[in-house]
Amino acid sequence: MGRGTDTTSGDALRSSNRAVSPVIAVVMMVAVTVILAAVVTAAVFVTGDVETAQQAATRFDNIVASFGALLP
């Protein structure tokens, strides 16, 4: 049994563990992206007042009227 045929040698273990670090890095990046997306979604949908379509239309009309007052 020669040194090159031993599958439990240090060289074989090192070559089989090379992909562990990139796989962990990709999994962590995906996890961070999912968590960040959840935080942004929660911040957008939870904060702020819920306004009806009528309130939004009234607010838009007020904004348009204020710009109209500024124009000659």
Indicate the number of domains in the chain.
Answer: 1
pLDDT digits (tens, 9 = 90+) for 5-35: 555 555 555 556 666 788 899 999 999 999 9
Instruction: Report residue 46 as tokens.
Output: 């939870």
In which domain, by residue range, is 65 found? 7-70
Give the DSSP letter of residue 7.
T
Query: CA-to-CA distance for 68 and 72, rounded, in angstroms?
Result: 8
**Residues 9, 3: contact at Cβ < 8 Å?**
yes
Q: What is the pLDDT of residue 14?
A: 59
pLDDT digits (tens, 9 = 90+) for 40-52: 888 877 766 666 7
User: Is 53 part of a structural domain of the chain?
Assistant: yes
Query: CA-to-CA distance for 53 and 60, rounded, in angstroms?
Result: 10
**Residues 37, 31: contact at Cβ < 8 Å?**
no
User: Is 59 part of a structural domain of the chain?
Assistant: yes
User: Is 62 part of a structural domain of the chain?
Assistant: yes
User: Is 1 part of a structural domain of the chain?
Assistant: no
